[in-house]
């Protein structure tokens, strides 16, 4: 058991005990960016889930229309709206995509704005129904009022 106290910088530990991991998990939706939507079917819907310090992001995003990206271009695929689900610092994860063949790239999640961006070392021609998977995990941003009060954006 630990106690949190409301201070000018939000909820903070009070006393010598650190806050325990609180279950159940808090979850919230991740918003697909322009050109992408929830893949649907049996695949995981885009969402973030927080278990204590750990944040899981998950989902399969389907491309909705044709566009091109150059090798190394950063393509915004989604946004984590809830600040409590963003990383403590910018993180780079591995990422799988399909654009006629399987592609590997990096997934960057930025702490300041929650943008999830895919960067592939190859030039890609996207068309409808191609997809990118946003499965990954990282250490979440310090807990604030939103963590306790909102339940997600």
Partner 1 sequence: MAVLERWDEVAGERRPVMVPTAPTVVPITSAALTPASGWIDYGGNYAAPMVYRQGDVIFIEGLLKRESTTTWTAATAYNLTTVPVGFRATQAKLLLAVYTGSSSNAALAWARMTVNETGGVYAYSAVDVSWSVGGWISIDAVIRAVP
Three-class SS of residue 32? Answer: strand
Q: CB of 84: closest distance to partner 1 in angstroms?
A: 13
Closest CB to partner 1 among residues 76, 131: 131
Chain centroid, CA 21 distance in Å? 20
Three-class SS of residue 138? Answer: strand
Q: CB of 43: closest distance to partner 1 in angstroms?
A: 5
Q: CB of 80: closest distance to partner 1 in angstroms?
A: 15
d(CA 10, CA 55): 20
Closest CB to partner 1 among residues 64, 135: 135
- Return the residue matching tokens 């889930």: 49
Contact footprint for partner 1 (CB under 8 A): 1-6, 11, 14, 19-27, 42-45, 47, 49, 51, 56, 58, 60, 94-96, 98, 101-104, 131, 133, 135, 137, 148
The count of C-alpha atoms lying within 13 angstroms of the C-alpha of 12, restricted to the half-sphere facing its C-beta, is 8
């Amino acid at each position: 058991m630990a106690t949190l106290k409301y201070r000018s910088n939000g909820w903070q530990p009070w006393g010598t005990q650190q806050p325990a991991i609180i279950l159940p998990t808090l979850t919230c939706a991740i918003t697909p960016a322009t050109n992408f939507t929830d893949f649907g079917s049996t695949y995981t819907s885009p969402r973030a889930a927080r278990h204590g310090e750990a944040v899981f992001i998950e989902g399969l995003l389907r491309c909705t229309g044709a566009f091109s990206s150059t090798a190394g271009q950063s393509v915004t695929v989604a946004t984590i709206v809830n600040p409590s689900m963003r990383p403590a610092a910018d993180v780079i994860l591995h990422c799988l995509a399909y654009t006629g063949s399987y592609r590997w790239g990096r997934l960057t999640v930025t702490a300041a704005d929650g943008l999830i961006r895919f960067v592939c070392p190859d030039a890609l021609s996207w068309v409808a129904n191609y997809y990118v998977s946003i499965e990954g995990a990282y250490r979440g941003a310090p807990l604030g009022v939103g963590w306790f009060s909102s339940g997600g954006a």
